């Protein structure tokens, strides 16, 4: 039997208003009566109807979060940061995760609309069309996009400065004396991947290094297996690289598996830099990696969403996030070809 608020009030011999004051910690209730009501709530298993409460206040206090499933831990870290920021602001997060190519974007948006979410955060979910986002805007549902974004009026964005940090990461390798620097990254289908690749190319051009075609490995997806495949190609090149810049820690996992199998050491035999700083600290040895300030991303996402909840006609805003290089000394000094 579903326990109602009226059942709690009857068992405690008080009014619904008194139970409400205990639930919301708002208004005076004697300490003895408060403890009695809290004990009844615990014993009966009464659960407040958050959606019904939200309807009375015209807000559900629920935020929708849409993201793609990925073996990489970056999306998980962003999701955790959003959950923490939302909790600190008194919101709950309803997260929906999809596998790439499932085609369930519209159904997921409909489900979130059905839950009367106050706003929606979309993290790197490039399968969602501009038309679907337009539907949310028409229904006055605030939208914030993270990482892979569209420039749409009334939609706020959080964009990572991937080009700048990739440029600096490869400069770090160059400054250590390396000239044979390889690249492992995903297909250049989105701005994120393009920016990381052009950062690599620009750093080489700046140093007067002409990248050999055999040093550039553009893989079909982010996965350990693709990392294994890429390092196999690089080690068999006519001029094997002395250092590798990878656009995901997940690639580094596969790369280091093959290096271990072949008896090669990092950084003695090969220098490495990963990207996203999620798995790099768990490897042996822990490797240098580009890190993202996940907590900052989550807080910005909530701030932007709440700002638009309060003023849905506000001009669109873009916040640019600066990653950092977590140096774990896996780029050795190299002074010979």
Task: Convert the pLDDT of each residue in 224-235 to its tens digit.
Answer: 999 999 999 999
Lowest mean pLDDT among 126-140, 186-200, 272-286: 126-140
Q: Band of the pLDDT at 5, cuts 50, 70, 90?
A: confident
Mean pLDDT of 308-337: 90
98 neighbors 125 (Cβ within 8 angstroms): yes
CATH number at residue 179: 3.40.50.2300
CATH number at residue 40: 1.10.260.40
Proportion of the chain above pLDDT 70, given as a percent? 94
What's the pLDDT score for residue 240?
94
Residues 179 and 86 in one domain: no
pLDDT higher than 90, residue 124: no
Mean pLDDT of 187-210: 95
Residues 236 and 314 in one domain: no
- Which residues, 6 or more positions from 301, have their beta carbon under 8 angstroms from its beta carbon? 81, 82, 85, 121, 144, 146, 158
What's the pLDDT score for residue 50?
57
What's the pLDDT score for residue 72?
72
pLDDT higher than 70, residue 336: no
What's the pLDDT score for residue 44?
83
332 assigned to some structural domain: no
Residues 244 and 144 in one domain: no
pLDDT in tens, 163-187: 999 999 999 999 999 999 999 999 9
312 neighbors 140 (Cβ within 8 angstroms): yes
What's the pLDDT score for residue 1?
60
144 neighbors 181 (Cβ within 8 angstroms): no
Mean pLDDT of 242-258: 97
Task: Quote the mean pLDDT of the chain.
Answer: 90
What's the pLDDT score for residue 259?
98
Q: What's the whole-model pTM score?
A: 0.79
pLDDT higher than 90, residue 121: yes
Q: Which domain holds residue 168?
A: 162-292
Residues 96 and 138 in one domain: yes
Residues 123 and 102 in one domain: yes
335 assigned to some structural domain: no
Residues 269 and 284 in one domain: yes
142 neighbors 122 (Cβ within 8 angstroms): no
What's the pLDDT score for residue 305?
95
Residues 305 and 285 in one domain: no
Total structural domains within the chain: 3
* Count of other CB atoms within 10 angstroms of residue 294: 21
pLDDT higher than 60, residue 215: yes
197 assigned to some structural domain: yes
329 assigned to some structural domain: no
Cα–Cα dist 103/158, whole Å: 24
164 neighbors 152 (Cβ within 8 angstroms): no
């Amino acid at each position: 039997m579903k326990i109602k608020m009226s059942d709690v009030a009857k068992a405690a011999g008080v009014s619904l208003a008194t139970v409400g004051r205990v639930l919301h910690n708002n208004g005076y209730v004697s300490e003895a009566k408060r403890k009695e009501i809290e004990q009844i709530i615990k014993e009966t298993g009464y659960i407040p109807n958050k959606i019904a409460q939200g309807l009375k206040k015209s807000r559900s206090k629920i935020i929708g979060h849409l993201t793609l499933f990925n073996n990489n831990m970056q999306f998980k870290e962003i999701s955790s940061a959003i959950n923490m920021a939302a909790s600190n602001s008194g919101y709950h997060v309803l997260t929906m995760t999809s596998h790439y190519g499932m085609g369930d974007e519209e159904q997921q948006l409909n489900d979130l609309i059905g839950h009367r979410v106050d706003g929606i955060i979309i993290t790197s979910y490039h399968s969602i069309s501009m038309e679907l986002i337009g539907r949310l805007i028409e229904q006055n549902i605030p939208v914030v996009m993270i990482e892979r974004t569209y420039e749409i009026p009334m939609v706020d964005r959080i964009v990572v400065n991937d080009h700048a940090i990739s440029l600096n990461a490869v400069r770090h390798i160059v400054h250590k004396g390396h000239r044979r620097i390889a690249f492992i990254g995903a297909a250049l289908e989105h701005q994120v991947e393009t920016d990381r690749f052009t950062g690599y190319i620009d750093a080489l051009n700046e140093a007067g290094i002409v990248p050999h075609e055999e040093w550039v490995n553009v893989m079909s997806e982010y996965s350990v297996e693709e990392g294994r495949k890429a390092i196999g190609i690089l080690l068999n090149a006519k001029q094997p690289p002395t250092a590798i810049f990878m656009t995901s820690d997940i690639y580094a996992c596969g790369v280091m598996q093959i290096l271990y199998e072949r008896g090669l050491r990092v950084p003695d035999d090969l220098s490495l830099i990963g990207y996203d700083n999620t798995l790099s600290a768990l490897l042996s040895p822990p490797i240098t990696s580009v890190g993202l300030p996940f907590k900052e991303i989550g807080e910005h996402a909530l701030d932007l969403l709440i700002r638009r909840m309060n003023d849905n006609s506000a001009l669109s805003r873009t916040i640019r996030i600066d990653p950092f290089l977590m140096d774990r000394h896996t780029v050795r000094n190299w002074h010979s070809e």
